[in-house]
């Protein structure tokens, strides 16, 4: 009990020292008293129970968030993972566990949420992806850059663990493209990429300056069986499966030989869940590349033909071609594999089989 009280006192003191939080001291104390009265067995130095951290996912109604919430709820308990976004959740989402409205640009409301719900970790998914970002630069700057500043400050003030995904889009035409290592020139030419390099650097700065437990993985294009994709350059590899079954044809906005790194969604979600638990001592970097495969639209189309033999594909490159041409072709993730055992499960063939098995019945 003495350890519990001293942890509690230390955490409360830290919070009270943050000037912006002074007015919240009452609710902080109240929230931590709840912790005192509840099961606190096995809490670490920050007072977080490593078996049941309370996790907030921002932007959780996008392509990745719902699946990650499912994965983390299985691990840490349904009520310990709070989904949030600015859009209305479906009935299934509402029934699956806690969901809250959270605009990443409203700092005070986020503070209140962290305190009221006693959050330990933030998984920060809110973002505008590459193609939509190019179409609305001012909004991308607000959501991707101001939003990041807000979560960094929240994580610093409340001593939270923070995960912010980065992307192959954080590299640019001056980076080596085949393969692209963790450490190399990063001069992206999209606002999305610029905001992600900014996130990597700011997170690492907060780590060195304040000891913030900042973690980031650079994902390749993530492919899932559902049609939702947030407006990225890699989205063709999500849309193609449904179009193939629905119409037998697909009009691709990239050239047939445009090679990009990709990953099946379950591998992506597994990488996040695994990475959040990697001990500090095993992490030589705070930002790691992770990937599973690399393919071109032409190669994907060949695979699709195995399931839809009459499938045809046409190519009409648009503005996304220029983005893709500046991104990595093959991602080098050997550091993640060596330092903390990252390993993908699905290659192109395995992924296509899972997706077609899942969605073909919908089109019969
Ligand atoms: N899906 C992919 O292929 C990849 C994704 N990532 C990163 O992973 C994260 C999640 O990606 P996805 O789920 O695909 O994105 P998405 O575009 O599908 O979802 C983003 C979510 O952010 C929400 N959002 C927008 N403005 C907001 C605001 N002001 N406050 C709160 N939420 C807001 C949107 O409503 C949306 O649900 C992003 O940071 C993205 O950059 C990185 C590499 C690849
Ligand atoms: C690779 C990404 O970050 C995303 N899918 C996009 O294409 O913008």
- Judge if ipTM > 0.95: yes
What is the distance between the terminal CA atoms of the chain, rounded to a whole angstrom? Answer: 61
List the catalytic residue out of 192, 206, 253, 264.
192
Residue 49 lies in a domain: no
**168 within ligand 2 shell (Cβ under 6 A):** yes
Instruction: Give the residue, out of 82, 127, 130, 190, with the most ligand 1 atoms within 8 A of its beta carbon, to mutate for a pocket test.
Output: 127
Mean pLDDT of 93-103: 97
Dist CA 122 CA 147 (whole Å)? 13
Higher pLDDT, 8 or 219: 219
**139 within ligand 1 shell (Cβ under 6 A):** no
**Which pTM does this prediction carry?**
0.89
Q: Which ligand has the minimum distance to the alpha carbon of residue 131?
A: 2
**232 within ligand 2 shell (Cβ under 6 A):** yes
Give the total residue count for the chain: 364
pLDDT tens for 137-173 read 999 999 999 999 999 999 999 999 999 999 999 999 9
> How many Å lie between the centroid of ligand 1 and the Cα of residue 3?
39
The domain in which residue 324 lies consists of 127-362
Contact 158, 119 (CB under 8 A): yes
> How many Å lie between the centroid of ligand 1 and the Cα of residue 127?
4
Contact 339, 289 (CB under 8 A): no
Cis amide leading into 179 (omega within 30) = yes
**267 within ligand 1 shell (Cβ under 6 A):** no
Atom of ligand 1 nearest to the CA of 231: 17
Higher pLDDT, 364 or 147: 147
DSSP 114: H
pLDDT of residue 35: 33
**171 within ligand 1 shell (Cβ under 6 A):** no
Tokens for 117, please give them.
């719900």
- 128-140 burial, b if ≥16 CB within 10 A, otherwise e? bbbbbbbeeeeeb
Dist CA 314 CA 51 (whole Å)? 50
Residue 69 lies in a domain: no
Q: Is 19 helix (H, G, I), strand (E, B) or coil?
A: helix
Q: Looking at the predicted structure, is the pLDDT value of residue 13 above 90?
A: no
Return the residue matching tokens 């893709």: 324
Dist CA 129 CA 140 (whole Å)? 8
**60 within ligand 2 shell (Cβ under 6 A):** no
pLDDT of residue 41: 39
Return the axis-axis angle of helices 348-359 and 297-305, rounded to nearest 10°.
Answer: 50
CATH number for the domain spanning 166: value is 3.40.50.720
pLDDT of residue 3: 38
DSSP 56: E
Residue 89 lies in a domain: no
Residue 111 lies in a domain: no
| Closest residue to atom 23 of ligand 1, CA basis | 59
Total domains, the chain: 1
| Closest residue to atom 1 of ligand 1, CA basis | 222
Residue 44 lies in a domain: no
Residue 332 lies in a domain: yes
> How many Å lie between the centroid of ligand 2 and the Cα of residue 244?
22
- Which percentage of the chain shows pLDDT scores above 90? 84
Residue 187 lies in a domain: yes
> How many Å lie between the centroid of ligand 1 and the Cα of residue 342?
23
pLDDT tens for 292-335 read 999 999 999 999 999 999 999 999 999 999 999 999 999 999 99
Residue 303 lies in a domain: yes
pLDDT tens for 177-225 read 999 999 999 999 999 999 999 999 999 999 999 999 999 999 999 999 9
363 is catalytic: no
């Amino acid at each position: 009990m003495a350890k519990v009280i001293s942890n509690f006192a230390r955490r409360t003191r830290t919070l009270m020292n943050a000037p912006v939080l002074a007015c919240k001291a009452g609710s902080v104390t109240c929230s931590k008293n709840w912790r005192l009265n509840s099961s606190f067995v096995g809490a670490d130095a920050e007072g977080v129970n490593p078996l049941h951290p309370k996790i907030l996912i921002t932007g959780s109604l996008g392509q990745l968030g719902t699946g990650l919430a499912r994965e983390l709820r299985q691990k840490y308990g349904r009520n310990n993972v709070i989904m949030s976004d600015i859009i209305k959740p479906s009935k299934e989402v509402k029934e699956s566990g806690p969901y809250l409205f959270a605009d990443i640009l409203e700092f005070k409301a986020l503070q209140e949420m962290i305190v009221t719900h006693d959050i330990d970790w933030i998984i920060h998914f809110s973002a505008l992806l590459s193609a939509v970002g190019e179409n609305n630069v001012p909004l991308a700057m607000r959501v991707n850059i101001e939003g990041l500043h807000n979560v960094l400050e929240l994580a610093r003030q409340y001593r939270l663990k923070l995960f912010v995904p980065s992307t192959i889009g954080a590299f640019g035409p001056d980076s080596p493209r085949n393969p692209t290592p963790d450490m190399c020139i990063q001069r992206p030419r999209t606002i999305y990429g610029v905001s992600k390099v900014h996130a990597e650097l700011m997170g690492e700065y907060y780590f060195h300056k304040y000891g913030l437990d900042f973690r980031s993985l650079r994902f390749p294009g993530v492919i899932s069986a559902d049609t939702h994709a947030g407006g990225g350059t890699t989205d063709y590899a999500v849309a193609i499966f449904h179009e193939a079954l629905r119409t037998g044809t697909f009009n691709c906005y990239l050239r047939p030989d445009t090679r990009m790194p990709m990953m099946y969604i379950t591998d992506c979600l597994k990488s996040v869940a695994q990475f959040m638990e990697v001990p500090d001592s095993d992490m030589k970097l705070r930002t790691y590349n992770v990937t599973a495969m690399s393919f071109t639209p032409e190669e994907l189309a060949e695979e699709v033909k195995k399931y839809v033999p009459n499938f045809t594909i046409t190519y009409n490159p648009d503005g996304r071609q220029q983005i893709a041409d500046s991104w990595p072709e093959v991602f080098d993730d050997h550091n993640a594999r060596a330092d903390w055992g990252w390993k993908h499960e699905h290659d192109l063939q395995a992924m296509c089989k899972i997706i077609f098995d899942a969605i073909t019945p919908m089109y019969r």
